[in-house]
Amino acid sequence: MKKKLLKGLAVLGAACASMEVYNRITYAKVKKLENTLSGETGYHDTVFGKVFYTKKGFGPSLLLVHDTSVGSSSFLWRNNFEELANNFTVYAIDLPGFGRSEKRPLTYTSEVYTYVIKNFVDEVIGKKCSCISSSLSSAYAIQVEHDDPGTFDRIIAISPTGIFHKSDIPGSLGKVTTKAFNIPIVGSFVYNILSSKPSLSGFMKEKIYHNKDIASSYVVNHYANSAKQDGDLSKYAPASLIGGYLNQPISEALANLETPLYVIWGANSTTNPIDNLKTFLDVNPSLNYHVFENCGEYPQEEYAYDFNVKAIEFLSREL
C-alpha cells in the first residue's frame, strides 16, 4: 500500500514538474503586446489596476469597450478606430485583466467592469460620451447608463448579452471551475492549453468568424500573445469569465433605458445566436437594430466599412 502511494506521488510530482516546464516555456515565448491602434496612449489608475487606453481624433467623445473573450483587447477595434477618429475623439480601453492593462490575482466580476467603465468616463473623458461595446461589455455599458443616467449619449451594443444569455450569477460548478484555474501549476497549464494558438485558431474559425479567413495567423498570434501577456496573472479574468462571474443581467436596465440604443448582430453568430435578439425586442420592442447577414460574432471586423458607416450615422444623428 505504501509503495503504491509513493509511486502515485512520484507520478503526480513528475506530471506537475512537466506542466511547470511547459508553463515556463510558454511564458518565455510571449512578446510584448503590440498596440495596433495609432494615437496618444496612456494609463489610468483605478482601484482594480492600471487601465491602458489609446486616444485619437477630434469632436464628440466616444468610448470603445472590447468583449471579455480569451485574449481580447482594444485590438478588436483595429478596423474601426481610424475611421471613427475622423469624426469623434475616440478612446479605446483594455479592461483590467486584459491586453496591456494591469492584471491582478483576483476574481473579476461584472461589478469590477461597470465600475471601471464609469470611472474612466468620469475621470479621463470627463464628460458625457457615446459608447460602442461588444458582447458582455454591452451589458456593462447598458447597466452603467441605467445606474447613472447621462453617462452616455448613445450606446451601440454588438451581440449584447444579459437577458437570458450570460445573465445568471455563478453557480456551484462555476465557482469550482474558477477556483480550479487558480490552482498553481495545474490551473496555469490548463489555461495555457486553452489559450494556445491551435486552440484559439480552432475556436475562432468554429465559433467567432463566419469568414474563416479573418482568423489569420496574425490575428491568432495577437490573441495568443495577449492571453499570456503577464504570465500567470493573465488567467484570472478568463477564469472569472468561464465561471460566470462576469455575467450581468440587464432586463430591468434595458426595459427602462431612455438613452438611444442601437443593437448590431451577426446573423451567423454561434456563441450568442441571433435568436437572442428576440429576447431584447421582447423587453424593449422599440429597440433599433441591424443584422449583418453572413456574419459571425464581430460585424465590426467582418463588415468593417458598413459597420463604420452605420455607427457614424447613428452616433451623429440629431437627438
> What grid cell was written down for 217?
495567423
Q: Say how many C-beta atoms besides its own lie within 10 A of residue 305's C-beta.
A: 10
* pLDDT tens for each residue of 23-65: 899 998 999 999 999 999 999 999 999 999 999 999 999 999 9
* pLDDT tens for each residue of 179-237: 999 888 999 999 999 999 999 999 999 999 999 999 999 999 999 999 999 999 999 99
- Region label for 231, one of left (φ > 0), alpha (ψ between -120 and 50) or beta (otherwise): left
Instruction: Report d(CA 222, CA 297) in Å as an integer.
Output: 18
* Confidence (pLDDT) at 167: 87
Mean pLDDT confidence for 68-93? 97
- Of 7 and 280, the structure prediction assigns the larger pLDDT to 280
Between strands 129-134 and 61-65, the pairing is parallel
* pLDDT tens for each residue of 130-179: 999 999 999 999 999 999 999 999 999 999 999 988 889 888 999 999 99
Residue at grid coordinates 451581440? 159
Instruction: Report d(CA 279, CA 32) in Å as an integer.
Output: 41
- Start-to-end C-alpha separation, the chain: 77
Helix count (H) and strand count (E) of the chain? Answer: 13, 8
Say whether pLDDT at 279 is over 50: yes
Name the helix (H) or strand (E) containing 44.
Answer: strand 40-46
Mean pLDDT confidence for 283-309? 96
For the chain, list the domains and their CATH numbers: 40-316 (3.40.50.1820)
